[in-house]
Amino acid sequence: MELLHRFAVFLVLFMGFGYGSARRQQSALWRGGGAAMTKYETIVVDQSGNGNYSSIQAAIDAIPSNNMQWICVYVKEGTYKFVVFLVLFMGFGYGSARRPQSALWRGGGAAMTKYETIVVDQSGNGNYSSIQAAIDAIPSNNMQWICVYVKEGTYNEQVKIPMDKPMIYLKGAGKRNTNVVWGSYDAIDQTATFNCEADEIVVKSMTFINSYNYPCNNKMRKPALAAKIIGDRSAFYRVGFMGFQDTLWDARGRHYFKLCSIRGAVDFIMGSGQSIYERCTVSVIAGCLEPGQPGFITAQSRENPNHPNGFIFKDCKVVGNGTTYLGRPWRGFARVLFYNSTLTNVVVPEGWIVYGIYVESMDDLAFAEYACRGEGAKISGRTYWEKNMSKDEIRRLTSMSYIDEEGWMKNQPFNMLSS
């Protein structure tokens, strides 16, 4: 039976689905770095739940009848019982009917989310062996979602998604399994391990690390970014950002972070992004600083009271070692809200501080907390100028409409709102 299993999988992987004269001309999955492109689409089957389907039959059932384009059902390693029936009873779609636009299928029986996939694998079993090579292969001004699936491993490279390459879904094999590591420092506009300039980017299940001062070491402390994000309408799900100073430059644009881990000691979430951080873990490593020196979580840089940007931490956890302020302003109208979050005893009683920048009036700052808990959430020792926001303002800032008034998130290839 084991032999039949393997034989059946072989047939599924390499058999064509749809003979006929009609040919697809649009972009698809790229095979071979720099070589001629072989075009097909991929559905991933993985018993562990990290694919599009967990059974081969479910993947094949999702393929439309009378299909006229090559489709690859990629079955990850494992023993799949009764696979032999897939080949014996599967139809191959002879006929003239054509399927609409190319797609990769997500979710057994659910609405289909359409995208194409490029596989990155250091061992050479993918389409490319580096993430940047895969991104470079995507056409400029791309108008269809493309998934760059990065297999597990540590990728020692700097990754940049340029402004002219939107609609990329960068997906790893897990926050602990796919790591991108680089060690540049000083010039914050050039040193980020991950530089995301394009609009409409989704990143899932991987970690970006700037290794210059991380893990803690004796090197001179310098700004060293794990990520710089300047595109609009971008979302991050189960993504790690690891560094020491200036870890995550949430520079500008509307962003959604969910179940992410962000680690650092000094100003490690900074910028002018209009962002919601939901159910994220903010991990402070201020214990690596000089004895008695506290860290700073946020350095938000709103410059004008009419600007909509701000950092909203919703249902998050602040943990770690040493002591830290929740934030300090990077510009004179900085706005940060911690909402319904757990603040451990790493947070100093004052909560907030103005340090290293001139602020014309403390009333211009919008640093606030609401319904938080934990040893670090006691407000009795808070600075006098912490903002007491109205319930209407808190409701507005914590609503998804704060970053998604027009509904851009529902058009992404992965629905993280329901996850």
Q: Judge whether 188 and 249 are in contact, CB under 8 Å.
A: yes
Q: 267 an active-site residue?
A: yes
Q: 246 an active-site residue?
A: yes
Say how far apart CA 17 and CA 35 lie, in whole Å. 24
Say how far apart CA 69 and CA 403 lie, in whole Å. 38
Say how far apart CA 330 and CA 338 lie, in whole Å. 17
In the numeric block, which tokens belong to residue 235?
């979302």
Structure-token match 């909560």, residue found: 351
| Dihedral over Cα of 230, 231, 234, 237: its sign | negative
Say how far apart CA 256 and CA 297 lie, in whole Å. 18
Residue 245, beta-bridge partner list: 266
Say how far apart CA 92 and CA 66 lie, in whole Å. 7
Buried b (16+ CB within 10 A) or exposed e, 128-145: bbbbbebbebbeeebebb
Say how far apart CA 132 and CA 224 lie, in whole Å. 20
> Dihedral (C-alpha) 45, 51, 55, 61: value to the nearest 10 degrees?
-80
Which of 232, 246, 363, 364 is catalytic? The answer is: 246
In the numeric block, which tokens belong to residue 259?
């179940």
Which of 46, 61, 250, 267 is catalytic? The answer is: 267
Q: How far is CA 285 from CA 71, 214, 264, 348, in A?
A: 47, 10, 6, 14
Burial class for 217, CB neighbours closer than 10 Å (0-12, 13-18, 19+): exposed
- Please give the positions annotated as active site: 246, 267
